[in-house]
Structure 1
Amino acid sequence: MSMTISVRYEPKQDLDFITGVLGLTMSETLRSLIDDGRKMKALQLYRHGKVSLGLGAKVAKLTLSEFIDLLKEHNVKLNIDVEDAKSALAYSRENL
């Protein structure tokens, strides 16, 4: 499903600057910033125990293994509880 969202953002110069640095179109830049923001928010939520491993991966729009790799890249320790372990095991059995 695709939708258009209008956001009022007065300092267009910031977006123009970032777009120029990245060498992307405005749409590509916004998508990149949103994707990166989702990942950073998921890291923050997981680090502070607000989301489980699986939910963090969903927030970041990553697979479980990609999210674990992201956690490692940012030196975030795994906080796996019994439910996370069961979920990971079930996922592995179904998909591997």
Structure 2
Amino acid sequence: MDSTVDLGDPAAYVKAPPFELWYRMRADAPVQHSTPARLGIEFWSVTGYHEMRSVLNDGETFGSRYGAFLGFAPQARDPAWQRMLVVTDGPRQWV
């Protein structure tokens, strides 16, 4: 699926969350690669249940060792992000 909506564009979320788009993504392309023009950073959207379980259970391949920087330049990352649940893996997440 090649989305016509730029998932990195805040305007896509102004009126309301794009539930219809997310429904189509889950049905047609539960794993989708994006490079939003505004961000210039590549990322993967994983919207399918089984696909997401696979990702969450494979911290070696899909780990967060590089942290999160969606929406920000990688050099501007905040060290506090490393403590957020969404960017922790394994034992760091269990504490």
Alignment TM-score > 0.5, same fold: no
- TM-score with structure 1 setting the length: 0.26
Q: Which has the higher helix share?
A: 1
Q: Which has the higher strand share?
A: 2
- TM-score with structure 2 setting the length: 0.26
